[in-house]
Amino acid sequence: MKDEDSKKAKAPAQKKEEKVVPPATGLSSKLKFPELPTKQAIAIPLVLLAISILIVGFTFATTGSPLHLGIDFKGGTMVTLKTDRTDEALNTEFGAYPIKIITHGSGGEKTLRFSDMSNEQETALAAYVNDHYPGSPIESIGSTFSAANQVQAVIAVLVAFAGMAITVFIIFRNPIPSGAVVMSAFADIMVAMALMNVFGVELTFGTLAALLMLIGYSVDTDILLTTKVLGERKYLEKKIATCRTTGLTMTGTAIVAFVVLYLVSTFSWVFGMSSIPVLSNISLVMIFGLLADLINTWFFNAGLLKWYMESPAGRAKYG
Higher pLDDT, 220 or 289: 289
Given a cut of 90, is residue 311 above it in pLDDT?
no
pLDDT at 154: 87
Could you tell me the sign of the dihedral formed by the alpha carbons of 239, 241, 245, 250, in that order? positive
pLDDT band at residue 189 under the 50/70/90 scheme: very high
Q: Is the pTM of this model over 0.85?
A: no
Report the number of distinct structural domains present in the chain: 2
- Among 259, 247, 261, residue whose Cα is nearest residue 218: 247
pLDDT at 34: 46
Task: Pick the range with the lowest mean pLDDT from 9-23, 165-179, 246-260.
Answer: 9-23
Mean pLDDT of the chain: 81
Amino acid identity, residue 16?
K
Q: Could you tell me the CA-to-CA distances from 12 to 8, 9, 17, 19 in Å, in that order?
A: 9, 8, 15, 21
Boundary-marking domain end, from 141, 165, 181? 141
Q: Could you tell me the CA-to-CA distances from 220 to 168, 216, 225 in Å, in that order?
A: 11, 7, 9
The phi and psi torsions of 97 (rounded to 5 degrees) equal -115, 155
Question: Residue 108 belongs to what domain range?
Answer: 76-141
Establish if 14 belongs to a structural domain: no
Boundary-marking domain end, from 123, 141, 159? 141
pLDDT, tens digit (0-9, with 9 covering 90-100), for 73-111: 877 788 888 888 888 888 888 888 888 777 776 566 788
Boundary-marking domain end, from 141, 162, 191? 141
Establish if 258 belongs to a structural domain: yes
Given a cut of 50, is residue 58 above it in pLDDT?
yes
As a whole number of angstroms, the distance between CA 263 and CA 259 comes to 6
Considering the domain architecture, whether residues 182 and 148 belong to the same structural domain is answered as: yes
As a whole number of angstroms, the distance between CA 50 and CA 66 comes to 15
As a whole number of angstroms, the distance between CA 229 and CA 174 comes to 13
Establish if 317 belongs to a structural domain: no
CB 295 within 8 A of CB 48: yes
pLDDT band at residue 313 under the 50/70/90 scheme: confident
Considering the domain architecture, whether residues 218 and 99 belong to the same structural domain is answered as: no
